[in-house]
Structure 1
Amino acid sequence: MTDFNKPQRAVVFGYHNVGVRCLKVLLAGGVDVALVVTHEDSANENIWFESVISLCQAEGIPYITPADAGSPELLEQVKAIKPDLMFSFYYRNMLPAELLAVAPAFNMHGSLLPEFRGRAPVNWAVLHGATVTGATLHEMTVKPDAGAIVAQMEVPVLPDDTAFEVFGKVTVAAEQALWRVLPSLLDGTAPRLKNDLSKGGYFGGRKPEDGRINWLLPAQDVYNLHRAVAPPYPGAFTDIGGVRYVLQRARLSGNFGNVVSLSLPPGLTVVDNCIFGVCGDGRMLTISALTADGEPVTAEQLQSRLAALSAGGQ
């Protein structure tokens, strides 16, 4: 039987901004964090987020970075700690059943479950044009994002929010949700709400190639793609004449009569020294920052390139 007069001991699996903020909540709430399991930063990744390792070093918390969350060595190490609770805050690997059996385990997911279960929930929410999302703390089961809901906090998704901006809101929502429920979680009275898997959907991870633009789609769909993968993510892109053009900043414009009058085809174009992306429904994205094979390109440069391709019959 758990003694609630002594600090609850926890093992935390964490990474990214949500890992940092939620770990800070546990520390502020008096939880004895005996071990943090995290990831080494990858040299091949754009690291734009906070470091769980740096927080552990600053707070004197033991941490490890195992390559395999399912290894017998990790299981034995966690068992030896005899945690009262375990948490997963944006840890990137699934935890096996044997590990979940060690102690009650809770995961923080970046959506309002059961919506957008699975990987990259914020990006998928923006891509699908969601107007609200949030963070959900739920019981961990072998099936991902399927356990009972313990706490939720919602945030708005504004029409021009990028996934990066929404992720910032979701990070705060995760911190708030955990902070509010932590006392009842520690004394065993936290709620358990049904996570209705007949609603919402499961989504897989996203790859840079998923950012390829289909200009035949309606402008809102193309704009949602741009918002979902805008920097610091890899960005929405289109290939023209062997050159990869990536949208860095864009906005969805109103209806332009000149699109019809000029009979502009879908794709990148330059009108009045401004770069636009013409979409399948005749509406355009106003593109204020564009790169060509990683280098910034101006409207004048783009117009010259497109003219040269046109003259060459490509």
Structure 2
Amino acid sequence: MRIILLGTGPFAVPSLRTLEASEHKVLMAVSRPPRGRKPMPAPVQVAAESLGIPDWQPETVNSDEARARLRELRADLLVVCDYGEILKSETLAIARLGGINLHGSLLPKYRGAAPVQWAVLNGDSETGNTVIQMTPGLDAGPALGVERVAIDPDETAGELEVRLAELGAALVLRVVDELATGTESPVEQDKSQATKAPRLAKEHGEIDWSRSAVEIKNQVRALQPWPRAFTDWHRSADAALRLIVHRVALCDETFSESTPGNVVSTTGQLVVTTGDGFLSLLEVQPAGKRVMRAEEFLRGNPMQVGDELL
């Protein structure tokens, strides 16, 4: 099979490497152009160059000019993963068999840009990968391959995404092999079960201590490595200090009842009351400082029982 891979982020890199090592031919890797104040090459661009695969970063792959260039490659299939732009039907049509997409959820659940994060945020115990035949609808095409994966209760979204990317690469190759031999078995999605997984924003990181300890733990896990969960320590003598919360644990000890967000222990640990249960903050990062364990933070910051996190 002659393949064009469209991917930008790290989730697509294992699929690129796996396809390049297979009997199929990766003609080109297409990624989104670098953005931001300090633009850096996309992970897929870096991986393609290391593998000797031609790479290209068009402003949009849906332009007539981009389609004309890709059509010249005479690809059999587009493989799309973590690309960052929805492909129009005219773009999918440049390849003989259209396009397939690797998505990090059990579709139709969590259609959208952040399926892994929302699975962790909602406290799911299971997720997976789905490879679909692409259609103009967002993550709506028939499933060509599905793989279920258990979520560890302490696993962050970043850690889970790395696992799914590696497992998904093997699933992509299996589907490509089936398409090459005409043995694929598409299964239509049940649209009535569809849920959305929109991209997260920094505002999602603000901790609401009136929620349960379990819900806040899931929030901390889901927002790693970005945009990260945060709270403000309101100190009696100084201005409030922003704390980025990196790692937490449910606390089985019993403390006196207090208002959600109140600190109830600073003796070797940092325990905070929630709307249901207590949460131990294991690793925090004060504004402008590095990440540190709670006991180290407490040695340099005289937090008191009764202090508020809001």
Corresponding residue for residue 197 of structure 1: 191
Indicate the residue corresponding to 2:144 in structure 1: 150
Q: 1:217-256 CA distances to partner (integer Å, 9 max, x unpaired)? A: 11111111011013x22311012444211102211222x3
1:257 equivalenced with 2:293 (yes/no):
no
Partner of 1:276: 271
Q: Provide the C-alpha distance between the structure 1 equivalents of 2:228 and 2:39, rounded to a whole number of angstroms.
A: 12
> In structure 1, which of residues 9, 12, 17 is the aligned counterpart of residue 5 of structure 2?
12
Amino acid at match of 1:17: P
State the distance in 1 between where 2:59 and 2:262 align. Answer: 43
Structure-2 separation of matches of 1:71 and 1:46? 23
Aligned in 2, Cα 1:274/1:50: closer, same or farther, shift over 3 Å? farther
1:129–1:304 CA distance, 2 compared to 1 (3 A): closer
TM-score for both structures, normalised by structure 1: 0.86
Distance 1:306 1:284, change over 3 A: closer
Corresponding position of 1:140: 134
Aligned mates of 1:217, 1:223 — CA distance in 2 = 10
Following superposition, the deviation at residue 101 of structure 1 comes to 2.0
SS in 2 for 1:88: strand
Compared CA separation, residues 195 and 265, structure 1 to 2 (3 A): closer
Q: 2:190 & 2:174 partners in 1: Cα distance?
A: 23
Aligned to 2:21: 28
Find out whether 1:234 has 2:222 as its counterpart.
Answer: no
Q: Please tell me whether residue 101 in structure 1 is matched to residue 100 in structure 2.
A: no
Alpha-carbon displacement from aligned partner over 1:61-93 (angstroms, at most 9, x marks no partner): 111111223222211111222211111011111
Q: What is the CA-CA distance between 1:156 and the residue it aligns to?
A: 0.7
CA distance in 2, matches of 1:58, 1:46: 19
Is 1:114 aligned to 2:113, yes or no?
A: no
Report SS of the residue matched to 2:184.
coil
Q: 2:56 aligns with which of 55, 64, 77?
A: 64
Shift of 1:168: 1.9
Listed as ranges, the gaps of 5+ residues in structure 2 are: 235-239
Aligned to 2:256, the other structure's residue is in SS state helix
CA, structure 1 residues 116+267, in 2 after alignment: closer, same or farther (shift >3 Å)?
farther
Aligned counterpart, 1:224: 218
Quick check: 2:116–2:161 contact (8 Å CA) kept in 1?
yes
Check 1:200–1:302 CA distance in 2 against 1; reply closer, same or farther (3 A cut). Answer: farther
Cα deviation, 1:104-135, whole Å, max 9, x if unaligned, reads 10000011111111111100000011111111
Residue number in structure 2 paired with 1:83:
75
State the one-letter code of the partner of 1:258: F
Aligned residues, how many? 297
Paired position in structure 1 for 2:119: 125
Per-residue deviation, 1:16: 2.5
Deviation at 1:215, TM superposition (A): 0.3
* Aligned equivalents of 1:155, 1:50: Cα separation in 2: 27
* Partners of 2:131 and 2:175 within 8 A in 1: no
What's the counterpart of residue 237 of structure 2? none
Mapping for residues 174-185 of structure 1, pairs under 5 Å: 174-185=168-179
The percentage of counterpart residues that share the same residue type is 28
Q: 1:100 to 1:300 in 2, by over 3 A?
A: same
TM-score by length of 2: 0.87
Contact 1:69 1:94 in 2 (8 A): no
* 1:183-240 deviations in Å (ceiling 9; x for gaps): 212122211012112114012110122111000011111111011013x223110124
